[in-house]
A and B are shown apart, each in its own frame.
Chain A
Amino acid sequence: MSFFFPALVLIGVFIAFPIYTTLILSFFPEGGVGDPTLDNYATVLTHRDTLNLANFPEPPYGTLINNAIWIAIHLPLTLFTGLALAIILRGVRGASFVKSIVFIGMVTPMIVGGFILRFLYEQDVGLVPSFFEYIGVEGLATNWLARPTTLLYGLIFGSVWMWMGFSLIIYSAGLTTIPREYFEAAKIDGASSWRTFSRITFPLLKPMTLVIVTMTILWELKIFDIVIAATNASGGPGQAADVLALQMFRYFFRDGDLHRASVVATILTGLTLVALVLLVRRLVSR
């Protein structure tokens, strides 16, 4: 029992108890007097910070939708570019060097990453507007982070730089577990590259895909540092890049509204747990 004792005490005091307290806070009104109700949830879910489709398709859409957009674009983008790169790197000289470079993005602290995105998108100073001006696409030759219509997408595309290394590393490891004979047999049978990929490679990588999808969704739900660094505590011009984690931070840290902040935190946690349940059985069973 003494093996577990320090860990369980720390987890109990500094994780489990706070989770419980936040959950309780979310059900009580300011001051904590009265019966538990769902009033705070109603307030938060109907607030325009959370859901705002009044001007659709004009942004802002609210944090719930913004996180969903983040997942809808960022997840397939990082998953498939990582997979494609992992597959072609098997036949490339200097593959480990390429991987090391991609990993600079992964080991860079996200708060620094957010400033690097600002640095990339800034007018004149940044490479992105200058690049689009050079190739003659005037519409994108501006500071993406200064306009509500492009802000969120600028951050999403930019954050691929910081996360694609994950799917690359997991898929690279996964590919080494597939016996070479499978590919040789497919070649002898005259299967096309696409057929080999869709019938052999991708199905055999399913466990890795599951891990990457789960971890990436968790990453996208918890996104915080990049947004606050590249914009501000409100999620930039018109709140167009506001996300759940930032909303919670703002309610708690700036407004001191513990109850509404707890509601946002609880919703966020609920979403992450749904994502993790996909994976748990695999991790626990040996």
Chain B
Amino acid sequence: MRFPLRTVVIHIVAWTAAVVWLIPFLGVLVSSFRPSNEVLNGWWILSPLTLTLTNFVSVFFSDISPMSVGLRNSFLMVLPATVMPLVIGALAGYGFARFSWPIRDYVFLTIVLLMAVPQMMVAIPLFQIMVDLNLVNTFGALILIHMTWGLPWIILFMRNFFGTLPVEIEEAARVDGASDAKVFFRVVLPMTFPALASVFVLQFMWVWSDFFFATIFIQEPGLMMATQLIPRLALGQFQVDWGFLTAASLMVMIVPIIVYAFLQKFYVKGMIGWTLKR
């Protein structure tokens, strides 16, 4: 059986791209399971090859910045910071899609513009607010900030999603005497599961990956997020211990990768959905 040249070429190009994209991850993976002195001349040199869990154990239980604590902190902060804006944003998105009031469109436009604002624009006053609220060095500060920071895109995303739902079902429920709240929670919300799943995945990943807000609001080592521990593990060493550091990197990146692996469909839908017109 013969294949056209074109087919062969595009397969080679596509699979080369896949290999190139896999290599950095593969390097981290391979190095993290080997003693540091074995990878000093390159992780791709496979002799001698000793596989060990030492790097993971010492990162997980390190005296200075144990990753066990960082991962726990991250989960405790990220879960509420992901679920709460989901509810609040869905409510507001529904409001923008279904109810009209005088300056609604201007408010909505402002909220959309806020999506572009960099975190740096709010950091200084937010720090002052958190000092006043006595929330510096607490998860509360990060939860409040991430929850609010996610709202503009969640509202936009949910509004566009609600716009695609048929109004007739809600009207029928209203004719039967259901209140706005009842219509939302009983009729609309169950239909929004796919959109909520997309929002969950994207918001989870963004909050998990955050480094800037975490650095500013959490300075107490025992309360630091997993992302903050990576630079800490790299610092204060005479020479970077790559076995150690790749193990730490893998532990932090594997969480979003697992979420992506299981909820890929929703991640992709979310990425496309809030940027493209349906």
Contact = CB atoms under 8 A, between A and B. Distances in A.
Interface of A: 1-4, 6-8, 10-11, 13-19, 21-22, 25, 85, 88-89, 91-95, 97-98, 100-105, 107-112, 115-116, 118-120, 122, 124-127, 130, 161, 166, 169-170, 173-174, 207-208, 211, 215, 218, 221-222, 224-225, 228-229, 244-245, 248-249, 252-253, 258, 261-262, 264-266, 268-269, 272-273, 275-276, 280, 282-284, 286
- Secondary structure call for the B interface: helix
B10 interface: yes
Contact of A265 (B118, B163, B267): B118
B144 A119 contact: no
Contact of A280 (B113, B122, B242, B267): B113
B276 A7 contact: no
Given A3-B99, A265-B123, A268-B118, A109 B211 contact: yes
Given A15-B148, A88-B14, A228-B231, 16 more contacts: A3-B94, A4-B96, A8-B107, A19-B114, A85-B17, A93-B11, A107-B260, A108-B257, A109-B209, A119-B31, A125-B42, A126-B42, A130-B42, A218-B116, A248-B120, A252-B123
Interface residues of B, number: 98
Contacts, number: 268
Contact of A119 (B28, B88, B160, B227): B28
Interface string B90-130: 01101110010100010111011111111111111110110
Among B22, B43, B109, B122, the most chain A Cβ lie within 10 Å of the Cβ of B122
10 closest residue pairs by CB, A with B:
A3-B95, A109-B209, A7-B92, A18-B125, A18-B122, A276-B116, A21-B125, A14-B148, A88-B10, A111-B211
Interface of B: 7, 10-11, 13-15, 17-18, 21-25, 27-28, 31, 39-44, 88-89, 91-92, 94-96, 99, 101, 105, 107-109, 111-126, 128-129, 144-145, 147-149, 151-152, 155-156, 160, 163, 180-181, 184, 205, 208-209, 211-212, 215-216, 227, 230-231, 234, 240, 242, 245-246, 249, 252-253, 256-257, 259-261, 264, 267-268, 271-272, 275-277
